[in-house]
Structure 1
Amino acid sequence: MAIRDDLVASAVQFLQDPSVASSSVENRISFLRSKNLTQEEIDPPAPLRRDWRDWFIMATVVGGVSYGIYSLGKRYVMPLVAPPTPEKLEQDKKSIEEQFERSFALVEQLAKDTEELKSAEKERTERLDKAIGDLESVMSDLKSANRRREDDAQRVRDEIQALKDAIPKALSNQKEMAEKRLREINGELTSLKTLVSQRMTANTTSSPSTTVNPLRTPATPTPPATTMPAATGNTLGSSSTSAGESAAAGSSSTPTTEAPKATPARTTGLTNGKPAGKASIPAWQMALSNQNDDASGSKDNQAASSS
């Protein structure tokens, strides 16, 4: 019986449905039988029969693959497995000898280059040692010079610091000395002013009633005795000179008196710049006291004669 292709095609399409494909084989066969399909149409198709062309193609492919494997083995595997021929050995020997000759030449060249490098390295090492020695000497000189400079700078700083510390003290001492001298000069000027005023007062009171005695030398009027403060030679010398000038100015106001003069002993004591060892009444003060006594005696005599 011939196979009905249209029924087989519809049955194949129906069996490809997912719901039908998940059912068992017996259900699918029973379903196909219910569709009036014969057993021949239900059974799977028989395998195709091979003809001579299939065998020829298979033989050609197998022969090509075999020839390729043989060529590869002969070209790459046989040289590794088969023993070398004498010609090949001779050729390898020559190539090895040439390589040895080149290697020996390279070794000799390397030896020469090594010797040259050794000599150059030795010279460079000597130059470097010399340069390092010079550098060390220069560094030592620089260090010593730097150390000396630091010492000098430290000494200068110490001296400057000492000067900074000494200058205020010296200025303070100088200021104190100047103030002391000014106080002494001020005291001397005050005493001289007092003496001059007393002398002028005494001269004013005694000039109307005093008569000149030609047989007696007029006494030199001197200021009253006052104690002078001790000072340095220059300060006292200048003070004495100022006192003398002031006294001279005061005495020039009266025609009958003379300016007081410093005795040589006082001048010497003042110009030497040394303080007196023991306080004593100066000679000019003694003369002034004598003059005052004489003036008072003459006043008494005049009063007695007038009475």
Structure 2
Amino acid sequence: MAIREDLVASAVILQDPSVASSSVENRISFLRSKNLTQEEIDVALARTGGNAPPTPTPSRQRYIYPLVAPPTPEKLEQDKKSIEEQFDRAFTLVEQLAKDTESLKTAEKERTEKLDAAIADLETVMTDLKAANRRREDDANRIRDEVQSLKDAIPKALENQKGLTDGRLREINTELTSLKTLVSQRMSSSVSTPTSSTFLRGASGSISGGASGVGSTSTPAAPSSAPKTNGEKTAVESTTTTPAAEVPKPTFPSAPLLNRSSSPLANMTGKKSIPAWQMAMANQNDTSSTQVKADEPKEAAASGSSS
């Protein structure tokens, strides 16, 4: 291997008195720290007038020297590359960590925004629920008040309706009483009228005489404007006096009032019918009028034969 003269020339510092007094091992170590080879060290010591160091034993060179020897440039370069690689890995990890941190920050920000939106929606829903609950409570209170007012008003309405119904029933009872009185009066008058008419007809059939006698048996209801002189006039007079003997059918003015009653009882009834006692009175009146009409031809014949 060629000797590097520049490095050997730099070893002249060994000629300094302070350095020359040091031991040979120290001077050799110093030269090795300058990256001089063993051959260059020997040349430098020879030029400075120092004694060459003894040749080291192989065991020392093999086992101890590698432990205490300074690193070579190749080793330093290798260590430098290793350190640079470690720094590169560290920087890569730092960059990756920065990217992950940024992504985590972005995700956390999005999650925070979503959480804020969800909280806002929840607050809105809670507000709506509170408003709905308040409205429901107001409606419940209003319904309760209305039900209470109805509970208070129904007994009063029933009492008023009961009073109206009692008044209507009293009116109906009064009308029925007056109707009963009127019917009794009509029945008594209708019974007395056919009796007197029959008596007068019997007396007229037994009397024989002229037209003046026949005229005297006529009822007062048929006035005579001319003297009766013959049988024809007597027959005519008997015919004219016959309607007076007929009994008129009684009318009941109170019945329409019952039909027009606005009481609840009148509305509850079904089909309106004529009472039985009214039907009996009507049949009796029809029978009386039929008998009177049947007696008229007999009276006329009796009057003609007597004349």
In the superposition, the TM-score normalised over structure 1's length comes to 0.42
Higher helix share: 2
